Each structure stands twice: as structure tokens, then as C-alpha cells.
């Protein structure tokens, strides 16, 4: 504000913008380094020791979910699926059951739409 020369003002504003940009970049780098900081060594070692166990649990969960999926395909009652949903404890189980409920409801709506649609003879 002390100078009246427009060219000098532009240069000053440009320099201010550049400094602000550099400061933002430094802040982002600092945040990224904090966000992706490596875990402590002892905790990492625990993870390595437990890895086969967690892998086995994951495989067991996948087979259980596949069995549940086959079971859900046989169920054609939304009320029964809703009861299963309320009893389910795991997120993935609930996700599969909700998908089965949506599928049944879509089939019901489609069936109703076909029954309401007048058929034209050709």
C-alpha cells in the first residue's frame, strides 16, 4: 500500500502469492509425513507373528460368507431375511443379507409391474 506504482504492486502481490503457495506446500508435506508415518517396530513384529493367523481367519470368513450367500439364494421371504439381518453380527454378513433383501424387493416390484401392465395382442 506504500507504493503507487502499479507494476511494483503486481510484483509484490505475485511475491506474496508465491510465498503463500510455498507455505501451503510445506504444510501439506508436513501433514502427509505425519499421516503416513511408519508404525513402531515392536507393533510391526506382532503383526508379522500374527499374520498367518489373521490370514487363516480371513479365509474362514470368506468360506462362511460364501455359504451364507448360497443359503440366502434359497430364501424367498423378506421377513425371514429381515430376521437373519437382525441376528447377524458381522458387517459383511449384514451386507450380503441387505443385498438379498434388495434383490427380492426388486423382483417383487418387477413382478407387480408386469402384472399391472396391460398386454396388447399383435
Residue in the block written with cell 503463500: 20
Q: Specify whether the CB–CB gap between 81 and 100 falls below 8 A.
A: yes
Q: What is the pTM of this model?
A: 0.50
Compute the distance between CA of residue 67 and CA of residue 43 in angstroms, rounded to an integer: 34
Residue in the block written with cell 470368513: 61
pLDDT at 19: 94
Range of the domain at 110: 64-116
Domain membership flag for residue 38: no
Q: How many CB atoms lie within 10 A of CB 97?
A: 23
Mean pLDDT by 10 residues, the chain (122 residues): 81 92 87 63 56 79 86 88 89 88 88 73 52
Domain membership flag for residue 111: yes
Domains held by the chain: number: 1
Domain membership flag for residue 16: no
> Which grid coordinates are listed for 96?
450380503
Q: Specify whether the CB–CB gap between 101 and 81 falls below 8 A.
A: yes
Amino acid at each position: 500500500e506504500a507504493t503507487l506504482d502499479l507494476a511494483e504492486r503486481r510484483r509484490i502481490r505475485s511475491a506474496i502469492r508465491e510465498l503463500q503457495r510455498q507455505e501451503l506446500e510445506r504444510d501439506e508435506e508436513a501433514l502427509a509425513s505425519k499421516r503416513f508415518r511408519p508404525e513402531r517396530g515392536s507393533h510391526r513384529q506382532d503383526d508379522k507373528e500374527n499374520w498367518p493367523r489373521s490370514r487363516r481367519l480371513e479365509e474362514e470368513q470368506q468360506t462362511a460368507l460364501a455359504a451364507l450367500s448360497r443359503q440366502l439364494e434359497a430364501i424367498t421371504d423378506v421377513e425371514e431375511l429381515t430376521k437373519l439381518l437382525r441376528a447377524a453380527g458381522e458387517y459383511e454378513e449384514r451386507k450380503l443379507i441387505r443385498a438379498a433383501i434388495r434383490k427380492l424387493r426388486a423382483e417383487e416390484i418387477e413382478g407387480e409391474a408386469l402384472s399391472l401392465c396391460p398386454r396388447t395382442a399383435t
